[in-house]
Structure 1
Amino acid sequence: MIMHYVLSRIRAHQRYRQTALELGRYSDQQLDDIGVHRFEIDDIARRQFNL
């Protein structure tokens, strides 16, 4: 049970990092098109995966 929790947290962190990296690759215009400011990327990625 504890191992399941640890693995789920590791996977969530990996998905968070991938999301943050992908959003970070967007141009300012692309981010503007989806209504996101560059400074919000980390918060958006963290909220998505409850980190």
Structure 2
Amino acid sequence: MKPKNLVIVRAVTDQGLTHAEAATRYGVTRQWVHTLVRRYEQEGPDGVAPRSRAPRA
């Protein structure tokens, strides 16, 4: 698991930062923060682990 992704999610869920504030603080896009938080809510900590970007076929 990539620790930075989990830190970003925890900043939003535990510290109460908005997605925009977390994005600015950690140098990522607001959309990426939204994606990470959604994955975390659906899959837990394993949901924010890096995923392959290679084609499936």
TM-score of the superposed pair, with normalisation by structure 2:
0.31
TM-score of the superposed pair, with normalisation by structure 1:
0.33
Higher relative helix content: 1
Larger radius of gyration: 1
* Larger relative contact order (Cα-Cα within 8 Å, sequence gap ≥ 6): 1
